[in-house]
Structure 1
Amino acid sequence: METIIGIAAGILTSISMLPQLIKILKEKDVENISPYMITILLSGVSLWVVYGVMLGEWPIILSNAFSVFVNVTLLICYFLFSKNS
């Protein structure tokens, strides 16, 4: 049961930023997102990947690696679509 809960939690947290990413890719508008929030979240999920590697726990590694990918993509989009760049 613990594994099922862990996998479900990993999936939900991993996909939580996808709607934001999709919206940004469609509208090319990043005015309402904070690069600081993305950077802090990216740091946290990166540490979760390291933690998962240290424990050898693939559900932690994979779900957080996906989150790293999504958040890196968001940060790239922020710099690409920012009106100040």
Structure 2
Amino acid sequence: MSLDQKFDEAALKVKTFTKRPTDQELLEVYALFKQATVGDNDTDKPGLLDLKGKAKWQAWLDKKGTSKDAAKEAYIKLVDEMAVKYL
């Protein structure tokens, strides 16, 4: 199975979790997904009152410089670890 196939499978697996991961885990999953699919964050920082948006934006920005393939591998590994707790 190719890296892209494993990544797509992991992305589907996240949607089947029966329990809600912690906010920090969700931010990490989000940031790795965005880095793997879009690349480095070059979007404008969300407004002052958008706390959730700013947290997501910062988590993604923290992945800057990570290659898409490395982000995919980290995403797959994280989802597999989370699946043990949340499936």
TM over 0.5: no
TM-score by length of 1: 0.30
TM-score by length of 2: 0.30
Which structure's relative contact order is higher, taking Cα pairs within 8 Å and 6+ residues apart? 2
Higher helix share: 1
Larger Rg: 1
